[in-house]
């Protein structure tokens, strides 16, 4: 099982994500944003949190145009898995690999704290090891997590059961309390909270761990 973690200038959760993948049994390659493609045989691409390119223009906008993102798009088109966390979610929206956009938090403040989420679907490799409706505590650390999508797009997300997580108590103004969404084929997940930061009891929680065990199980079975 092989994971690739993309590193942009300004990424700062890349190593945390690599630690989580390794703990789940993945061989991890760190892939610089200027690389033209992904290493051979990558099962999942992780797009980490941080402030790629200093959030210039819009969060994730410049990173979305990086050379490596062509390889990521091709991987996703082939049906490969991808996980975008925080800035990674913003990058996936900017490239159109996930629908919607992330705006400045409604309260305008940077939010950095633990947040309760509700697991809204178990129909994905990322969420299969949770229970539907289960409440989990995952840390937030973002300034632009206010998820926006048009009425049609929102209706599609709901009808297709593609809302992965909702906030319990909306911290940032996100439409319909949405904290994370799945792609049409359910193999790409973008979310603002940081599951990779809660995989070890010594770091304050383990509610993110089931996401990584879910991935491992799916890929071992495949």
Options 13, 76, 149, 164; binder of another protein; rule CB under 8 A:
149
Smallest distance from another protein to CB 148, Å: 6
Smallest distance from another protein to CB 11, Å: 20
When the beta carbons of 108 and 155 are compared against another protein, the nearer one is: 108
Confirm or reject binding of residue 148 to another protein (CB under 8 A). Answer: yes
Options 39, 41, 54, 107; binder of another protein; rule CB under 8 A:
107
| Region 25-64 residues binding another protein, contact defined as CB under 8 A | 57-58, 61
Confirm or reject binding of residue 108 to another protein (CB under 8 A). Answer: yes
Using an 8 Å Cβ cutoff, are 135 and 89 in contact?
A: no
When the beta carbons of 147 and 165 are compared against another protein, the nearer one is: 147
Smallest distance from another protein to CB 154, Å: 12
End-to-end Cα distance, the chain: 10
Confirm or reject binding of residue 93 to another protein (CB under 8 A). Answer: yes
When the beta carbons of 41 and 106 are compared against another protein, the nearer one is: 106
Options 66, 124, 127, 146; binder of another protein; rule CB under 8 A:
146
CA 184 to chain centre: 15
- The site that binds another protein (CB under 8 A) totals a number of residues, namely 20
When the beta carbons of 88 and 208 are compared against another protein, the nearer one is: 88
Confirm or reject binding of residue 155 to another protein (CB under 8 A). Answer: no
What one-character-per-residue DSSP string does the chain give?
-EEEEEE-TTB-SHHHHHHHHHHTT-EEEEEETT-SSPPTT--EEEE--B-GGGG-SSTTTTGGGSTHHHHHHHHHHTT-EEEEETHHHHHHHHTTSSSSEEE--TT-S-EEEEEEEEE----STTTTTS-TT-EEEEEEEES--EEE--HHHHHHHHHTT-EEEEESS-SS--GGGEEEEE-TTS-EEEESS-GGGSSBGGGTB-TTHHHHHHHHHHHHH-
Confirm or reject binding of residue 111 to another protein (CB under 8 A). Answer: no
Question: How far apart are the C-alpha atoms of 81 and 209, rounded to whole Å?
Answer: 17
Question: How far apart are the C-alpha atoms of 126 and 150, rounded to whole Å?
Answer: 25
Catalytic machinery residues = 86, 194, 196
Options 10, 25, 37, 173; binder of another protein; rule CB under 8 A:
173
Binding site for another protein (CB under 8 A): 57-58, 61, 65, 93-94, 99-101, 103-108, 146, 148-150, 173
């Amino acid at each position: 099982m092989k994971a690739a973690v993309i590193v942009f200038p300004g990424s700062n959760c890349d190593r945390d994500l690599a630690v989580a993948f390794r703990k789940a049994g993945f061989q991890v390659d760190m892939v610089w944003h200027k690389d033209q493609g992904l290493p051979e045989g990558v099962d999942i691409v992780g797009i980490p949190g941080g402030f790629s390119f200093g959030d210039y223009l819009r969060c994730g906008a410049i990173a979305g145009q990086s050379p490596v993102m062509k390889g990521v798009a091709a991987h996703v088109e082939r049906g490969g898995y991808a996980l975008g966390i925080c800035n990674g979610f913003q990058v996936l929206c900017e490239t159109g690999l996930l629908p919607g956009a992330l705006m400045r938090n409604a309260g305008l403040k940077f939010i950095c704290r633990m947040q309760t989420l509700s697991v809204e679907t178990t129909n994905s490799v990322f969420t299969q090891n949770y229970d539907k409706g289960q409440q989990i505590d995952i840390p937030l650390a973002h300034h632009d997590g206010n998820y926006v999508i048009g009425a049609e797009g929102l209706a599609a997300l709901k009808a297709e059961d593609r809302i992965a997580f909702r906030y319990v108590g909306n911290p940032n103004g996100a439409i319909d309390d949405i904290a994370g969404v799945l792609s049409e084929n359910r193999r790409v997940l973008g979310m603002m909270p940081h599951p990779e930061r809660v995989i070890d009891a010594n770091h304050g929680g383990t509610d993110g761990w089931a996401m990584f065990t879910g991935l491992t199980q799916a890929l071992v079975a495949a």
